[in-house]
Amino acid sequence: MNRLLRSLGPVMTTVIVLLSGVWVVGMIIAPQLIMVEQSFWTKDRSGDAVVISVRIDRLYNEIDVLRFDKTDAEALAPSPRRDAKIAGIEAIIADKQVAIADLEARETTPEKVYSLRNYTIMGQAHLAVFVKTILASVAVTLIAFVVCYPMAYAVAKLATPGKAAIIMLGLIIPYAINELLRVFAWLMILNHNGVANYLLGLIGVGPVPFLESGAGVFVAMVYAYILFMVFPIYNTIETLDTAQIEAARDLGAPTWQIHRRVVMPHAKPGIAVGCIMTFMLSAGSYAVPYIMTRGTAEPWFTQLIYNKFFESSNWNTGSAYAFTLLVACIVFVFLVMRMFNVNIKDIAK
């Protein structure tokens, strides 16, 4: 802090401290805190709620009756008695209106009851979807790794600089296209009467129900998130001294051993980052499974969260679902880090 002050001066230091504060609060603490808080309470509408609504209705009726009385009173010839009567009625109406406002406030903001209820009400079906989502995301991650590792290695170590640039460009271009567009394109390819089935039909196979079997989600996801696997791995492999690969080969290592003993250990942080990113994006993906299945195959867990929020209007359960997914993702991150024996510092590099 003092060093910052010395090298940047008071103004810049204040700006930096403020910005970091905004980042930590706005990006890390606040959203999680709000979500977690939301997930731990339920609205208590039981029993009482019906009574309140009946009482409100009754009060409105009474006010209507009193207004008639007031109109009748106003029709009388002016006299002190009439004025007193009107004033009396108005006072009663005002009282009742206060009572209504109070009751309505109780009805629209029912009492929060803190409990673990939101976490315990997940049914068998939803739990199955949750487990399936996690397993499927692991599978997407593995497929992406199998596809990306050789590609990253080839670009980093085998291609000439010119060719590497072209391949990289080829990898980046699809990402300049809107994600929805890309996913819809795959939808058209894998559709029942899409390009893939047309080609399969030419050799007398199919039609294969890509979308209905859920395979379409895999294909589209691997495609959608492949770059997040390629780049971290590519970056780490690129820093590997080529002489080490040659040394291993010179000492008699076959290709797979060179990768097992030299390249992969070096690329471990990149592989870990790639796996974590791909897993997080797949597990948290909403658009891809939504578009690719359209209700014909089992939904992704994110779709259930969406439904809780916007279809059953139960934000509390939705929050609990979302938080459960977050916890699962964090557990996955730690598992991966443990498995690859890397720590946060390696990953930050």
Partner 1 sequence: MRGMDIELDNVSIEFGDFTAVSPTDLKIKAGEFFSILGPSGCGKTTILRVISGFLNPTTGEIRIGGEPMTGVGPHKRPTAMIFQNLALFPLMPVWENVAFGLEMRGWAKARRRDKAFELLDLVALGDQAEKMPDELSGGQRQRVAVARALAVEPAVLLLDEPLSALDLKLRQHMRSELRDIQRRTGVTFIYITHDQGEALTMSDRIAVMRAGVIEQVDTPDLVYDAPATAFAATFVGANNVFRGHIASHDGDMAVVETKHGALRGRNPRQVAVGGAVFLFVRPEKMRVLSAAGGKENSIDVTFERRDLEGPFVNLFFRREDDVFSAHLVNAGAMAHDPPARMGICFDPRDGMILPVGDMADE
The residue from 241, 312, 330, 335 that contacts partner 1 (CB under 8 A) is: 241
Residue 254 binding partner 1, by CB under 8 A: yes
CB of 240 to partner 1, least distance (A): 10
DSSP 3-state of 45: coil
Residue 262 binds partner 1, judged by CB under 8 A: yes
Q: Which stretch binds partner 1 (CB under 8 A): 98-106, 168-176, 258-266, 284-292?
A: 258-266
CB of 339 to partner 1, least distance (A): 16
Give the 3-state DSSP-derived string for 285-306, with helices as H, strands as E and coil as C: CCHHHHHHHCCCCCCCHHHHHH
Using CB under 8 A as the binding rule, whether residue 249 contacts partner 1 is answered as: yes
Nearest distance, CB of residue 276 and partner 1, angstroms:
21
2-10, 136-144, 245-253, 299-307 -> range binding partner 1 (CB under 8 A) = 245-253
Whether 53 and 69 have beta carbons less than 8 Å apart is answered as: no
257 sits near partner 1 (criterion: CB under 8 A): yes
Interface with partner 1, residue 246, by CB under 8 A: yes
**Separation CA 344–CA 349 (nearest Å):** 9
Distance CA 35, CA 50 (A): 29
Work out whether 266 is an interface residue with partner 1 (CB under 8 A). Answer: yes
Q: Indicate the residue among 273 and 291 with the shorter CB distance to partner 1.
A: 273
DSSP assignment letter at 54: H
Residue 82 binds partner 1, judged by CB under 8 A: no
Q: Does 252 bind partner 1 (CB under 8 A)?
A: yes
Instruction: With beta carbons less than 8 A apart as the criterion, state whether 266 and 241 touch.
Output: no
CA distance 152 to 157: 8
Q: Decide: is 253 part of the binding site for partner 1 (CB under 8 A).
A: yes
Q: Which stretch binds partner 1 (CB under 8 A): 26-34, 138-146, 186-194, 259-267?
A: 259-267
Q: Partners of 111 in the beta sheet?
A: 44
Q: Does 342 bind partner 1 (CB under 8 A)?
A: no
161 contacts partner 1 (rule: CB under 8 A): no
C-beta closer to partner 1: residue 252 or 295: 252
Alpha helices for the chain (secondary structure H): 2-23, 30-39, 48-75, 80-108, 117-120, 124-153, 161-176, 179-190, 195-202, 215-238, 242-250, 255-258, 264-283, 287-293, 301-310, 315-340, 344-348
* Residue indicated by tokens 């598992």: 335
Helix H segments across 177-286? 179-190, 195-202, 215-238, 242-250, 255-258, 264-283
Confirm or reject binding of residue 201 to partner 1 (CB under 8 A).
Answer: no
Check binding of 244 to partner 1 (CB under 8 A). yes
Write the single-letter amino acid at 95. D
Q: Tell me if 203 contacts partner 1 by CB under 8 A.
A: no
Find tokens 């930590």 and name the residue: 24
Only one of the segments 66-74, 123-131, 237-245, 327-335 lies at the binding site for partner 1 (rule: CB under 8 A); that segment is 237-245
Q: Closest distance between partner 1 and the C-beta of residue 263, in Å? A: 11
Residues interacting with partner 1, by CB under 8 A?
A: 241, 243-244, 246-254, 257, 261-262, 265-266
